[in-house]
Structure 1
């Protein structure tokens, strides 16, 4: 299986794309996946990456940090080239997030190119990769629509802009899109697995949203109390200090014993904004952070013990995990987990795995 990764820290888009294409010399990729810091002009980096790989499907997005085998990077471009012995088929399309019918049209069209109807796609043979405008606040609705249309797993992340929170971009075949998502339907040539890994344990404290502005990802009340008051009580903190606990004590929807993390973003009076939607009346557990390095290492080892060496890995890693790793001085240790694996990824503004989640790494693993 031919999967190769590369990166460039050259600040000029053409120079960066040239360095990456040189490292892929001799390959004929059917797919090139790239993630680029927002320091790169979006039009230039998308155009030049496609020019360097004219026969490949070229997919990418802007980031809040990049990942490549052995390293966590900033202000770089990382890329993965996959040949036909890794990917036997790929079709990709752009979904306009302002068009309610666009997801259905895109999925019907993509499935049709494989000669199938959407629900005929075998989840053991097909997988979706999705990259979404990270400032659109449209991830939940889009993932729900996709889930209604297909049974295959869809994994991905929300594009970033290095914490500027001004504009994020998704890329497909040399073009640039805002308020949009790029959906790629892929048929891997061999086995694959999805991994969702987060580093939290339950505290036993329950918060039930009793008043919610769902569209704006804002919780007004938990347990019938102002959100800030209820959250402070649950973590045994002063109300004035709650924001300092957000990274280490998010909340989670527990399904089959697994937390699906919803991370608080900021305080607004007595309310709390989150990085993803909270549904009224759905019980949440207060979570407490554990060791990202130990947890991720264990999860990767489990896959390898079960399947043998990993042939390639795409890593959608939450920006909040990235910030915590740098804060704790563990960024090099995190990169080292993947030093012997062909891996690329980026720091996201949210992760996609069944739905939209936070403070998680979602990974597509080629075996």
Structure 2
């Protein structure tokens, strides 16, 4: 159990395997008179229904959003089978949230209406101007196959508001991922968090990969299902395995993590994780 403070932000974690004890430990570390919002990431090993009930009980009406993850970044460093959280002081942050419960039906009109509603909520608190003082965070079901469509609609609606986020995980099972909103864990859904603050912030990207010279061109795919059948006009798994120097039967999540695919946009590389062969 560890706690870390910064101006307006408190971070905490629990390594307790029992969901109720974990929620109690987070509440003990995060609760203070000005706590207005909590963002958390948890292992999928928890009993999620029990964890949801315990979090709502422990935080007594304070809004929480979060998602299941595949490893947690904590005040102690990288962790597994634990829960980590960040608490935001309402004197520093005005935060509005929304749930996309049907990602497959989410349209640009839906995105515009959601962003308008979230901006209106933040603006009503008169903490700071929206322009230049606001960013958006999106947590998405990592197995929905609809992430790009949802993010494209949201980015268009957000305009010049910086936008970042990621996909929920479920440790390394890749069977069922969840986001948390309104006191419950949801499957096939996404959570949008709009943060308005008078504090300085920067949205940035970083990764640990180094590019190789070879290019893999997708020559056969089912884009709706996000399945790649061919790379460089060869069977995708065989071509990928050949480039990294391993047999096809050795491909697993460890190999994918060590040798990710990435799309280059201008001078930046963006990882496109492989789920399975």
TM range (shorter): 0.7 to 0.9
Q: Please, what TM-score do these two structures have when normalized by structure 2?
A: 0.83
| More strand as a share of residues | 1
**1:251 aligned residue (231, 239, 261):** 261
Distance (Å, rounded) in 1 between the aligned partners of 2:274 and 2:45: 27
Distance (Å, rounded) in 2 between the aligned partners of 1:37 and 1:229: 33
User: 1:210-264, CA deviations, whole angstroms, 9 ceiling, x for partnerless residues?
Assistant: 22211222222223333344435544x3654672653333332212211112233
Q: Please, what TM-score do these two structures have when normalized by structure 1?
A: 0.64
Q: CA deviation at 1:180?
A: 0.8
Distance (Å, rounded) in 2 between the aligned partners of 1:170 and 1:254: 29
2:223 aligned residue = 214
Distance (Å, rounded) in 1 between the aligned partners of 2:68 and 2:257: 23
1:94 aligned residue = 99
1:198 and 2:207 equivalent? yes
Tell me, yes or no, if the aligned pair for 2:67 and 2:180 is still in contact at 8 Å: yes
Q: CA deviation at 1:179?
A: 1.0
1:156-235 aligned at under 5 Å gives the runs 156-235=165-244
CA 1:208–1:45 in 2, change beyond 3 Å: closer, same or farther? same
Q: CA deviation at 1:205?
A: 1.0
1:145 aligned residue = 153
Q: Structure 2: 5+ residue runs without aligned partners?
A: 1-6
Greater RCO between the two (CA within 8 Å, min separation 6)?
1
Tell me, yes or no, if the aligned pair for 2:13 and 2:75 is still in contact at 8 Å: no
1:19 and 2:19 equivalent? no
1:127 and 2:135 equivalent? yes
Q: CA deviation at 1:185?
A: 0.7
Q: CA deviation at 1:5?
A: 1.5
Distance (Å, rounded) in 1 between the aligned partners of 2:56 and 2:222: 41
Aligned partner of residue 210 in structure 1, secondary structure: strand
Tell me, yes or no, if the aligned pair for 1:94 and 1:106 is still in contact at 8 Å: no
Distance (Å, rounded) in 1 between the aligned partners of 2:98 and 2:162: 17
Q: CA deviation at 1:83?
A: 0.7
CA 1:228–1:2 in 2, change beyond 3 Å: closer, same or farther? closer
Aligned partner of residue 160 in structure 1, secondary structure: coil
CA 1:2–1:98 in 2, change beyond 3 Å: closer, same or farther? same
1:56 and 2:65 equivalent? no
Q: CA deviation at 1:128?
A: 0.8
**2:16 aligned residue (10, 31, 46):** 10
RMSD: 2.5
2:272 aligned residue = 262
Tell me, yes or no, if the aligned pair for 2:39 and 2:66 is still in contact at 8 Å: yes
